[in-house]
Amino acid sequence: MQSKINSFFKPSSSSSSSSMLTERSNSPPQFCGDENDELAIWEKTQHTIVNTYTRRASEFERIDNKEEASDEKSEKPISGNMLSREECGSNGRNLKKKKRSYAQFHLELGQSNFLLHDCSTCGVKYSPGDEADEKNHTVFHKNFTLGIQFKGWRNERVVHTPNGERGRVILVLDSDPVAQRNKVQEVVKMMEMEMELGEGWIFHKLCRVYLFILSQRIAGCVVAESIKEAFEVLSCSIGATTKQARPKSGKLRFGDIVLQREVINIAPSEVSHESRNGAILCKKEAMSAVCGIRAIWVTPDNRRKGIATQMLDAVRESFCRGHVIEKAELAFSEPSSDGEALAANYTGTTSFSVYKTGNLCG
């Protein structure tokens, strides 16, 4: 192919053509009368067309050349600012700057597994299948059911040690170090969440906090405060409010159904006291009291083990220095149904005392 191209553009003899060119270059051009002869002589003397080409490398040869070039690049240092064409795309972007991540994503198309689940024990909402979400729920669930982790302090104020148990009751005051007060706040937040109380209601600076420590966890907490007076609860008002039907009350008849109106009779010597379950009845005359139980809480997995009783005993023994408070001098604030049962069981009577949270000892 090359020979055909050369024969087409060049004279047959290279030596004669070169000698002819040298002679014509040395001698001035001779012009004839004919214009065509002049143009032909001028083209032969001034224009020499040389056509060269290179054969395109095959695909296998290109792969070998790329491997050799990559080997040479690995031997030669490359500056951080200079990038080769192979490392960049056609638009100059660096393709090796960041590796692609192939993380698995999910499409939420109404599957039940992607819905948030409510934990029936701790009340936390979490997404099953999400590793981080499940881990956070596991940690919180364990702290809620067993108690917040507690490795102990150097200077603990141990006020009570139950007989035959590994647990202990420690007292924390507002004047204690910051680390101890922060731990109290962590427990108080857990109590507020389960008791559904407002933020900041359970604890204030004048309160004394008793923590029950069991197996390096805080299994229970009592928040106590000084009070001046309390009111005795009527035994008939616990659990249900007494109702007395009028013998001659009005009746409403709907066919065969007869509805009889009932009224609640409150004696003049009785007053209503608000609790978390509604109104409870207590006597109008106030009686003296020393210690008010503002809140008491035990972790779900540690209930029915006598921990609340042990903490109340610790409060009676250590609240007043050198004096053990009688059970009749304890009063409870806004008891729930479980709190009413605990107070009645601990004091041994359904006529225990309650107090208003605003009536504090100055």
Task: Check residue 247 and give its pLDDT.
Answer: 43
Q: Which domains, and CATH codes, for the chain?
A: 1-71 (no CATH), 112-144 (no CATH), 150-354 (3.40.630.30)
User: pLDDT 10s digit of each residue in the chain, 362 long?
Assistant: 666 666 666 555 544 544 454 444 455 555 445 556 666 666 666 555 555 556 666 665 666 666 566 555 555 554 444 545 555 555 555 555 566 666 666 666 655 555 677 888 887 888 777 788 888 888 989 999 999 999 999 889 999 988 766 789 999 999 999 999 999 999 999 998 888 888 888 999 999 999 999 999 999 999 999 999 999 988 655 554 434 434 444 566 665 666 666 655 544 444 445 454 556 788 888 899 999 999 999 999 999 999 999 999 999 999 998 889 999 999 998 788 888 999 999 999 888 999 988 655 54
Residues 6 or more apart in contact with residue 298 via CB below 8 angstroms? 212, 219, 220, 307, 308
> Which residues sit opposite 214 in a β-bridge?
217
Residue 193: strand, helix, or coil: helix
Q: What would the 3-class secondary structure string for 120-131 be?
A: CCCCCEECCCCH
How does 99-115 read in b/e, with b if 16+ C-beta sit within 10 Å? eeeeeeeeeeeeeeeee
> Which residues sit opposite 252 in a β-bridge?
259
Token pair in block for residue 153:
């302090």
Residues 6 or more apart in contact with residue 167 via CB below 8 angstroms? 161, 212, 213, 214, 219, 307, 310
Query: Quick check: 303 and 309 in contact, CB under 8 A?
Result: no
Q: Is the dihedral of CA 154, 155, 157, 163 positive or negative?
A: positive
Task: Check residue 356 and give its pLDDT.
Answer: 87
Residue 254: strand, helix, or coil: strand
Dist. CA 13–CA 178, nearest whole Å = 107
